[in-house]
Chain A
Amino acid sequence: MTEGILRQILDYSSRADPYPLYEELRKTPVFHDGTGPYVLSTYHEIKGLLHDPRISSDSRNLTAVAGDPLSETGEDEGEGVLPPSFLKLDPPDHDRLRRMTNRPFGPPHSPRRVEQMRGELGGIVKGLIDAIAKEGDPSRIDLVEEFSYPFPVTVICRLLGVPPEDEARFHVWADTLAASLDPDPGADPAERADKTKGARMELGMYLAGLIEERRKNPTGDMLSELATAQGPDGTMTTMEVLSTAALLLIAGHETTVNLITNGMLTLLRHPEHLARLRAEPDLGVPIVEELLRYEPPVQLLPQRSTLSDIEVAGVTIPKGSSLWLILASGNRDPKRFPDPDRFDPDRQDVQHLGLGSGIHSCFGAPLARLEAALALSELARRLENPRLLEDPPPYRQNAVLRGPRHLPIAVDGIRD
């Protein structure tokens, strides 16, 4: 049965519901078909490896993995467009860059940065829903196009300090780059690669210009801080600021789109929880946490490798092997979560793997949590009698960053 199971996971027909395949996979906690990666699907084993210093995230330790979907620099990396971001580095370089990036973003140096955006985020959410109310067709709203995609892109622009008048250009580049992470077998690869490369080049040049400007006239946004901050780790080079900004941009919104969309889809399938959320907006917080367990936007981490022979669940994985850590499967491991296939926002002890764990655990987690909780609470409050028009909705091709490409819904109206 496990024969070809990886192919089945990657196969588009599994996209809407990969969980039965994961259940099958968990019967073999360390799965290896002889040529491909070692696949880990059980909670405790994945958690252990995420904290294991013998596991590298630096793809230079790996033989090339085709179409590596989490790589923000993709296949262009070898051409030196941008140096690898800290997502794809090991300590000590990872630690230094992540620390420097964290200074303007979170504790201890900027403990309130995310919380201070709450009002602004609420304003963006309100604006987007108002626009749907004004211009949308209540009998068919695509929640992805009209809400869960534009929201995080706008947020990341504000956070980085992209001027509002440039946001539209930014959206186009972000869109193209996001599409490049979403291999569509129908498209002409050469054409796509060209387009992607062009977008990356334009984005890079745009950001470089912005960084230069901020270096001369810092304005307090993240780009200014990254470009000018002088801490115990020194100052980032322009190339480091560029690759960090590109990471924040791509990793910071592509995942949030799916978190919000998966969230709304799940709530529409569980109307009792949607009704509760409408009555009690604070439930957004536990709902998002359970969503990160139940439908995590990052399904698997495909780019880890072993620096030594290591033993996991009785199997020795040789040095230099490629690992796939199926976070979404670990999140449904009955050995860790009772009744794991049930969506239960009241669940206690939700130490899920949805945001990873260990030193590479999601950098943007506080922002993603806040964005998703605000978005879902406000959608629940304002949409009157929302219902799914297609179930399952059409999914993106991507098996790693999994989520609906469109989420068509109908509503009776939109409340003020």
Chain B
Amino acid sequence: MASGASGLAAGYSREQLATFVWVGQGMLAVILLWGWTELADRIRTGEVVSDLLRPVHPVVNYLAADLGRAGYALLTRFLPPVLVGLLLFDVYLPKRWYTGPLFVLSLALALVICFGCRYLVNLTAYWLYDIRGPMMFWTLSSGVLAGLYFPLRFLPDWVYVPLWLATPFPSLLQTPLDVLVERDTANVQVGMVGIQLVWAGLILVACWLVQRRAERRLVVQGG
């Protein structure tokens, strides 16, 4: 949408930006950045106890359910905006043969990372009961730091690079979209997905650790 005299803005062409915006809108519902409080609600009401009695680890249990939800959202919420973009705008279509599969992998990793972040925010309910504070922090920071409001490459490099390496946020939206519009060289494109892989692992481990602490706390409280 925004483009300077050269037709380029921060390394994106007009077509690449159009793809970035429309696919980004579609991804929003797939990774479900906002509005998931199911686990926190169950912790508050005590229903979470029945989750803990199941033979499946709660993180695995909830992740599986979330993957199913995302699959459905892919059909109902991802395709419409992408089709609208395709029909009404000059959008950029990938030129490298492997970009398609790589984007699918990147999207799946973004979903896992997003799920993990949401799960951690919800877990604070074990300590706080009302997760309004953490939820607000997550809602405000995730949108702007993931690249929803503007492509993060519009920021100076000294802001963007630390953000991208040291926080999981750009891996939620910015990375899959950069992969799709082929903004970088092939090596960087694959490397960005590698960073996502690291973050997905770290976040899931964090979920598992915090879950264990929370369960111990539950036992202390007497169930």
A and B bound? Answer: no
User: B: which residues have CB within 8 A of A?
Assistant: none
